[in-house]
Structure 1
């Protein structure tokens, strides 16, 4: 889910063709009917889980979005909500090369600072997007992080947020069979290494608090 227009009752999907399902979806024609089940699970929140208090605003804390590859898809709506609150947001985006850099104009139109890194150095800083985070921590450690992307990136972000004591929300990516939580094929670990439980990404997630999530490299 990339963008939502609540007044018109429409939304945009950002799809990368990687298999049979995404290929079929990409071949749909305009005005063709498609069956959907949703909404499922939860999303990023600008309040705590109980809904009883607002998280720190920009005057107290900076909103830092960290995304890799197709992990940029859910971040447009989040950045838009932050800007609607009159707060600032920084987007750190990583891709393999400049040909895979997505949505820069959309975020710039929102007034967000959009910073790019590419693994081959063809655009922005050369290296992984996680290498950009310390620069913003060195400026001010009052940062809230929202992350989505490859498993390795999410693991780095979670470990960094715990080490630095930062507020962090992570949107997990998993293959989902039923989307209803019945098959339990999309579970992830929540808790500590010695005492954890499995949560369903489709129903309990996909967004989890960084301090409770155990991310294992895929």
Structure 2
């Protein structure tokens, strides 16, 4: 069930996430313009004209997802980019990656969610494409959908920190990443070693 009070009230995670994804896509566009990119089902022929914030607001308005769903979608996007380094987030694929990660997150997290045809309509793509994107995304994640409370909190904190800083996009020496994803198994292993 959705956590928002009314359709007009957008959770802060929407603006935070759209700002972060925009910065990542712009950075990768600049840093990878001379590198060969692997074309995938997520890659569009042109950049969508709708801004990421408007797109996320549209998803929030019509998909009735909880705020937690968007944080988990962010975790999934980070996991996907870590496992698929030849498919960085760019302005040509970010919208499709976003609608797919929200769809997968809603199915995993929320008690009520819509079918793929509905998400396809919200996302401005065909149902066939939505189905294909979902399957490709799940395989790209190796079907690792569980998000522990600790991981959820880490990503929430990272989002808040990034948005509090709101640093202007300077072209970095290397492409920006969503988050320096940590392996939960490694994190637990390090805590065990520290306790010894």
TM exceeding 0.5: no
* Larger relative strand fraction: 1
TM-score (norm 2): 0.32
* Larger relative helix fraction: 2
Q: Larger relative contact order (C-alpha < 8 A, sep ≥ 6)?
A: 2
Higher radius of gyration, 1 or 2: 1
TM-score (norm 1): 0.30
